[in-house]
């Protein structure tokens, strides 16, 4: 009989949880591969890695097209890689190649963020790290930031946010934050979501959801809306709701020893903490970003879905909900028939992958 140390209590798609609390990632080792930055002699695209924060560790790979004029400015794409919130990297060979291609063909600076991954850095690290990186980009607006490529060549009046899979989910939250919190000096004109990870609420693979909101948080209402949507979804589990009165956004992170923060932690630890980490994909404490918010600041959103992707329906629902929300921008849906999730990363030279890249390039180059 297996000991309690080796007993698996829950098996998820990319990792398993043991009874003693250990988490073991189960994806293939080759997905951990990375490549260094390099200069492409054919396209002229250059790349470099930059450190944005040492604690917590946040970095990025920056790509810049061939510069033919010292005063030349390029639109900027802030890109967030996918990987189920627990794997892949901005430095992975596929993402390096994809971002380099976008930089060359769109004539754009690409900042590809390297964010913290579960389980070493549980959610909401991926959201917070990406927001930190986007704010770092914005710190160059006056031309006095730490990175010369951004100071000298970034057009902050034409910024795009994009990502695939989990990165699409994170990209949405970043766009929402720009609208609700602001990003002075930066105009985000478009969002690109490639097979974004928005799950069908009715298909949650769990029995219990614990939702925290804070009374003074700007995300209080979206969090409450999430609870109502979950109840209406047909999901058969039990949803619990906790509101921390008098508190603001992620107060427990700023003051973890205060009475209400200790109480919040106790509630999380009282049952299955690993489930809480998973459900954080949709709502981490009061962090669920509801697409019904009408102050979504972006002019255009392009959503890509793949016909055979398990995220096809949620992606289409996102597109429809965005159009119904009262948001006044332009939303476009592109469906790749006969294809599966992030097919363009597995076979970037196939006809439909080239077409997908071309549509992103055209979106960035639009006036």
> pLDDT tens, 252-310?
888 888 999 888 877 776 654 433 333 333 333 233 333 444 445 678 999 999 999 99
Residues of the chain above pLDDT 90, percent:
57
The answer to whether 5 is a known catalytic residue is no
Task: Tell me which of 130, 165, 171, 280 is the catalytic residue.
Answer: 165
The answer to whether 319 is a known catalytic residue is no
Collect contacts of 65-70 with beta carbons under 8 A, ≥24 apart.
65/103, 65/104, 65/107, 65/108, 65/109, 67/153, 70/152
- Enumerate the domain spans of the chain: 1-32, 35-199+293-365, 202-279
26-35, 169-178, 340-349: range with lowest mean pLDDT: 26-35
Q: What is the pLDDT of residue 351?
A: 97
Supply the mean pLDDT for the chain: 86
* Mean pLDDT of the 37-61 span: 97
Contacts of 298 (CB under 8 A, 6+ apart): 161, 175, 178, 179, 188, 189, 190, 191, 329
Question: What's the rounded Cα separation, in Å, for the pair 280 and 2?
Answer: 31
Task: Tell me which of 129, 164, 217, 309 is the catalytic residue.
Answer: 217
What is 35-199+293-365's CATH number, 3.40.50.850, 3.40.50.1820, 3.40.50.720, 3.40.50.300?
Answer: 3.40.50.1820
Give the closest residue to 191 by CA, choosing from 296, 50, 324.
296
Which residue bears the tokens 């990209």? 171
Question: What's the rounded Cα separation, in Å, for the pair 77 and 63?
Answer: 10
Task: Tell me which of 249, 277, 319, 341 is the catalytic residue.
Answer: 249
Q: What is the pLDDT of residue 300?
A: 94
The answer to whether 245 is a known catalytic residue is no
Is the pLDDT reported for residue 361 higher than 90? yes
Question: What's the rounded Cα separation, in Å, for the pair 47 and 38?
Answer: 5
Residue 349 burial (CB count, 10 A): 7
pTM (2 d.p.): 0.81
Token reading at 205: 């693979």
Residues of the chain above pLDDT 70, percent:
89
**More confident call, 363 vs 266:** 363
Q: pLDDT digits over 205-264, tens only? A: 667 788 888 999 877 887 888 788 778 777 778 888 889 999 998 888 888 889 998 888
Token reading at 319: 């597109």
Q: What is the pLDDT of residue 44?
A: 98
Give the closest residue to 48 by CA, choosing from 97, 259, 286, 39.
39
């Amino acid at each position: 009989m297996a000991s309690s140390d080796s007993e698996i209590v829950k098996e998820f798609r990319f990792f398993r949880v043991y009874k003693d609390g250990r988490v073991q990632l189960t994806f293939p080792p080759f997905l951990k591969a990375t490549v260094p930055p390099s200069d492409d002699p054919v396209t002229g695209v250059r790349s470099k890695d930059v450190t944005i924060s040492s604690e917590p560790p946040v970095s990025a790979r920056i790509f810049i097209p061939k510069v033919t004029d010292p005063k030349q400015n390029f639109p900027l794409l802030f890109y967030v890689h996918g990987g189920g919130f627990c794997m892949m990297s901005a430095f992975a060979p596929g993402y390096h190649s994809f971002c380099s291609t976008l930089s060359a063909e769109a004539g754009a600076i690409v900042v590809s963020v390297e964010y913290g991954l579960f389980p070493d850095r549980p959610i909401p690290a991926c959201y917070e790290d990406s927001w930190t990186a986007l704010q770092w980009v914005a710190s160059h607006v006056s031309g006095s930031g730490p990175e010369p490529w951004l100071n000298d060549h970034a057009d902050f009046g034409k910024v795009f946010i994009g990502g695939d899979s989990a990165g699409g989910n994170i990209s949405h939250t970043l766009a929402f934050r720009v609208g609700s919190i602001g990003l002075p000096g930066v105009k985000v004109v478009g969002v690109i979501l490639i097979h974004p990870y928005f799950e069908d609420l009715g298909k949650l693979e769990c029995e219990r959801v614990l939702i925290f909101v804070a009374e003074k948080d700007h995300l209080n209402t979206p969090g409450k809306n999430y609870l109502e949507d979950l109840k209406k979804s047909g999901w058969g589990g039990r949803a619990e709701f906790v509101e921390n009165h008098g508190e603001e956004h992620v107060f427990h992170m700023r003051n973890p020893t205060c009475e209400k923060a200790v109480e919040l932690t106790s509630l999380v630890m009282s049952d299955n903490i690993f489930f809480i980490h998973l459900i954080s994909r949709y709502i981490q404490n009061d962090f669920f970003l509801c697409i019904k918010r009408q102050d979504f600041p972006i002019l255009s959103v392009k959503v890509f879905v793949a016909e055979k992707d398990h995220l096809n329906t949620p992606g289409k629902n996102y597109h429809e909900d965005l159009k119904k929300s009262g948001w006044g921008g332009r939303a476009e849906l592109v469906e790749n028939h006969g294809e599966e999730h992030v097919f363009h990363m597995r076979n970037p030279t196939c006809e439909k992958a080239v077409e997908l890249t071309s549509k992103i390039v055209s979106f960035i180059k639009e006036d």
